[in-house]
Amino acid sequence: MDRGSGADFGTKLQACLAKISTTYGGTCDARNFSGALSMGASFNLSTANTTILLPCPTSNAAIQIIVTAGMRNVTLHGCALRASSPARGNPRRHRLAYTGSAAIIQIGDLPYASDTQGFHLGDRRDGDASHRRNRAGRRPV
Protein backbone atom coordinates (compact mmCIF):
# COMPACT_ATOMS: atom_id res chain seq x y z
CA MET A 1 0.00 0.00 0.00
CA ASP A 2 2.91 2.41 0.65
CA ARG A 3 3.60 2.59 -3.09
CA GLY A 4 0.02 3.50 -3.99
CA SER A 5 -1.12 6.79 -5.40
CA GLY A 6 -2.05 9.69 -3.13
CA ALA A 7 -0.62 12.75 -1.45
CA ASP A 8 -0.86 11.54 2.15
CA PHE A 9 -1.41 8.37 4.16
CA GLY A 10 -5.19 8.87 4.21
CA THR A 11 -5.40 9.21 0.43
CA LYS A 12 -3.31 6.08 -0.10
CA LEU A 13 -5.51 4.20 2.37
CA GLN A 14 -8.64 5.33 0.51
CA ALA A 15 -7.11 4.13 -2.79
CA CYS A 16 -6.42 0.71 -1.24
CA LEU A 17 -9.93 0.47 0.21
CA ALA A 18 -11.41 1.25 -3.22
CA LYS A 19 -9.71 -1.89 -4.59
CA ILE A 20 -11.16 -4.24 -1.93
CA SER A 21 -13.43 -6.95 -3.36
CA THR A 22 -17.08 -6.17 -2.63
CA THR A 23 -17.78 -9.92 -2.68
CA TYR A 24 -14.95 -11.30 -0.54
CA GLY A 25 -13.48 -8.30 1.28
CA GLY A 26 -9.72 -7.99 1.73
CA THR A 27 -6.81 -6.40 3.57
CA CYS A 28 -5.02 -3.06 3.27
CA ASP A 29 -1.56 -3.52 4.79
CA ALA A 30 -0.14 -0.15 5.85
CA ARG A 31 2.51 -1.49 8.25
CA ASN A 32 5.36 -0.40 6.01
CA PHE A 33 4.70 3.34 6.43
CA SER A 34 7.16 5.35 8.51
CA GLY A 35 7.74 8.94 9.53
CA ALA A 36 5.07 11.59 10.08
CA LEU A 37 1.72 10.52 8.67
CA SER A 38 -1.28 12.68 7.93
CA MET A 39 -4.86 11.97 7.01
CA GLY A 40 -6.65 14.87 5.36
CA ALA A 41 -10.16 13.51 4.77
CA SER A 42 -12.67 11.35 6.62
CA PHE A 43 -13.29 7.94 5.10
CA ASN A 44 -15.93 5.23 5.16
CA LEU A 45 -15.29 1.54 5.60
CA SER A 46 -18.18 0.30 3.50
CA THR A 47 -17.10 -3.21 2.44
CA ALA A 48 -17.72 -6.26 4.59
CA ASN A 49 -14.77 -8.44 5.68
CA THR A 50 -12.24 -5.61 5.41
CA THR A 51 -9.07 -5.45 7.51
CA ILE A 52 -6.69 -2.51 7.81
CA LEU A 53 -3.26 -3.30 9.27
CA LEU A 54 -2.16 0.09 10.60
CA PRO A 55 1.38 1.50 10.68
CA CYS A 56 3.36 2.03 13.89
CA PRO A 57 3.94 5.79 13.55
CA THR A 58 1.39 8.29 14.82
CA SER A 59 -1.19 9.52 12.31
CA ASN A 60 -2.17 13.16 12.74
CA ALA A 61 -5.77 13.80 11.78
CA ALA A 62 -8.94 15.73 12.39
CA ILE A 63 -10.90 13.16 10.41
CA GLN A 64 -13.45 10.52 11.26
CA ILE A 65 -13.29 6.84 10.42
CA ILE A 66 -16.84 5.71 9.69
CA VAL A 67 -17.88 2.06 9.55
CA THR A 68 -21.03 2.09 7.42
CA ALA A 69 -24.15 0.71 9.09
CA GLY A 70 -24.67 -2.99 8.48
CA MET A 71 -21.06 -3.71 7.45
CA ARG A 72 -19.87 -6.89 9.12
CA ASN A 73 -16.41 -8.06 10.11
CA VAL A 74 -14.44 -4.83 9.80
CA THR A 75 -11.07 -4.79 11.59
CA LEU A 76 -8.60 -2.02 12.40
CA HIS A 77 -5.43 -3.60 13.76
CA GLY A 78 -2.40 -1.76 15.15
CA CYS A 79 1.20 -2.73 14.55
CA ALA A 80 1.70 -5.23 17.39
CA LEU A 81 2.45 -7.87 14.78
CA ARG A 82 5.66 -6.02 14.01
CA ALA A 83 8.63 -5.08 16.16
CA SER A 84 8.77 -1.39 17.01
CA SER A 85 10.87 1.14 18.82
CA PRO A 86 10.24 4.55 20.40
CA ALA A 87 11.49 6.12 17.15
CA ARG A 88 8.65 4.45 15.22
CA GLY A 89 5.90 5.65 17.53
CA ASN A 90 4.24 4.15 20.58
CA PRO A 91 5.69 0.65 20.95
CA ARG A 92 3.37 -2.03 19.56
CA ARG A 93 0.52 0.38 18.89
CA HIS A 94 -0.62 2.76 16.23
CA ARG A 95 -1.66 6.12 17.63
CA LEU A 96 -4.19 8.42 16.04
CA ALA A 97 -3.50 11.97 17.23
CA TYR A 98 -7.05 13.20 16.82
CA THR A 99 -7.94 16.89 16.80
CA GLY A 100 -11.57 16.68 15.63
CA SER A 101 -14.72 17.29 17.64
CA ALA A 102 -16.83 14.23 16.70
CA ALA A 103 -16.04 10.63 17.66
CA ILE A 104 -12.77 9.33 16.18
CA ILE A 105 -14.49 6.17 14.97
CA GLN A 106 -18.21 5.97 14.24
CA ILE A 107 -19.52 2.41 14.01
CA GLY A 108 -22.85 2.08 12.24
CA ASP A 109 -25.66 4.59 12.18
CA LEU A 110 -26.43 6.93 15.04
CA PRO A 111 -30.04 5.81 15.64
CA TYR A 112 -28.74 2.19 15.62
CA ALA A 113 -31.37 1.06 13.12
CA SER A 114 -28.95 -1.37 11.42
CA ASP A 115 -26.85 -3.98 13.19
CA THR A 116 -23.10 -3.62 12.51
CA GLN A 117 -21.65 -6.95 13.64
CA GLY A 118 -18.09 -8.13 14.06
CA PHE A 119 -16.23 -4.79 14.37
CA HIS A 120 -12.77 -5.26 15.89
CA LEU A 121 -10.31 -2.61 17.03
CA GLY A 122 -7.00 -3.77 18.46
CA ASP A 123 -3.49 -2.68 19.38
CA ARG A 124 -4.15 1.05 19.08
CA ARG A 125 -3.85 4.09 21.26
CA ASP A 126 -6.00 7.09 20.51
CA GLY A 127 -6.23 10.52 22.01
CA ASP A 128 -4.00 13.47 22.67
CA ALA A 129 -1.12 14.29 24.98
CA SER A 130 -3.40 14.23 28.04
CA HIS A 131 -3.58 10.43 27.69
CA ARG A 132 0.13 10.01 28.37
CA ARG A 133 1.23 8.48 31.63
CA ASN A 134 2.63 10.71 34.33
CA ARG A 135 5.96 10.08 36.09
CA ALA A 136 4.31 7.63 38.50
CA GLY A 137 3.16 5.56 35.51
CA ARG A 138 -0.52 6.41 35.95
CA ARG A 139 -2.89 7.75 33.35
CA PRO A 140 -4.52 11.09 34.23
CA VAL A 141 -8.20 10.89 35.15
3-state SS assignment for residue 66: strand
Q: What is the pLDDT of residues 49-71, one digit of tens each?
A: 999 988 877 777 778 888 999 99
pLDDT at 124: 63
Q: What is the pLDDT of residues 110-141, one digit of tens each?
A: 787 888 899 988 876 554 444 444 444 444 33
- Whether 89 and 127 have beta carbons less than 8 Å apart is answered as no
- Distance from C-alpha of 13 to C-alpha of 11, rounded to nearest angstrom: 5
Domain ranges of the chain: 9-131
Question: Which of 16, 35, 36, 15 lies closest to 26 in space, CA to CA?
Answer: 16
